[in-house]
């Protein structure tokens, strides 16, 4: 679990007219994590996620000098995994956590070079 405070948060509600959000956190040197990429269900598949992702990648690179961006995606989120793969994020690790009732959840750790 990542516990460091967010470097930057982007809320596109005013721009898009519907709630979309994301944040950058755990910056270390030229790397940081992208978290909480959230697009409301009624607006998925309409370009909002792509806009949000590219805006956050640009912000990470230009404002913080980030060259490598990391993220976590739950294994059950096949749509999210495909979306990140389409945008050149590649898996590098798996994290297995126990949740309520001893159930396990797997998060796929992914990364992308921003150049």
Residue 77: which pLDDT band, with cuts at 50, 70 and 90?
Answer: very high
Number of domains present in the structure of the chain? 1
Give domain status of residue 56, yes or no. Answer: yes
Q: What is the CATH number of the domain that holds 64?
A: 3.40.630.30
Give domain status of residue 47, yes or no. Answer: yes
**CA 94/CA 10 separation, integer angstroms:** 27
Output the CA–CA distances (angstroms, integers) from residue 41 to 20, 45, 46, 49, in the order listed. Answer: 10, 9, 10, 11
Instruction: Find how far residue 65's CA is from the centre of its chain.
Output: 17
For 40-74, the pLDDT digits (tens) are 887 788 888 898 899 999 999 999 999 999 999 99
For 13-22, the pLDDT digits (tens) are 544 444 456 7
The vertex-32 CA angle with 30 and 38, nearest 5°, equals 145
Give domain status of residue 59, yes or no. Answer: yes
Entry pTM: 0.80
Per-residue DSSP letter, 5: P
Q: Which range marks the domain in which residue 78 is found?
A: 6-113
Helices then strands, counting H and E runs in the chain, come out as 3, 6
């Amino acid at each position: 679990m990542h516990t460091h405070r967010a470097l930057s948060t982007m809320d596109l509600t005013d721009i898009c007219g519907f709630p979309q959000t994301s944040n950058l956190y755990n910056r270390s040197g030229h790397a940081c994590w992208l978290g909480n990429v959230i697009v409301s269900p009624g607006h998925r598949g309409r370009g909002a996620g792509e806009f949000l992702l590219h805006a956050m990648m640009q912000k990470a690179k230009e404002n913080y000098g980030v060259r490598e961006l990391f993220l976590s995606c739950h294994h059950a989120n096949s749509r999210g995994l495909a979306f990140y793969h389409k945008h050149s994020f590649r898996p590098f690790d798996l994290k297995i956590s126990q949740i309520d009732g001893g159930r396990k959840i797997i998060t796929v750790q992914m990364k992308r070079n921003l150049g």
